[in-house]
Amino acid sequence: MKNTKTCPKCQATDVIHVPGNTSNVNSPHIRVAGVFNTYVPIGRYLCGKCGYLEMCVETDDDINRVRTNFR
């Protein structure tokens, strides 16, 4: 849904983007080690028709931080 803006389940185009937020402890995130423990935010994409939900790391920099930390 992130790239296509279309729900893979019902093909609706009413996709709601909920950005990741590391300052809210209730928002999903991935903890990565470093000099200080830091967090990579997880963005969510919700279909406004059927409720299907996808979550993803949204930036290339954040993807590389997770890759480096968990390899």
Q: Is 55 a domain residue?
A: yes
Length of the chain: 71
The reply to whether 5 falls in a domain is: no
* pTM for the structure as a whole: 0.83
Asked if residue 27 belongs to a domain, the reply is yes
Residue 1 near residue 45 (C-beta atoms within 8 A): yes
Residue 44 falls within a domain, yes or no? yes
Is 19 within the bounds of a domain?
yes
Instruction: Examine residue 8 and state whether it is found in any structural domain, yes or no.
Output: no
SS3 for 65?
A: helix
Q: 54 in a domain, yes or no?
A: yes
Domain interval for residue 64:
15-70
pLDDT at 52: 98
pLDDT band at 22 (very low <50, low <70, confident <90, very high): confident
Token pair 């590391």: residue: 22
Does residue 48 belong to any structural domain of this protein? yes
pLDDT in tens, 32-71: 987 677 899 999 999 999 999 999 999 999 999 999 999 8
> Which tokens hold the place of 40?
């990579």
Domain count, the chain: 1
pLDDT at 25 over 90: no
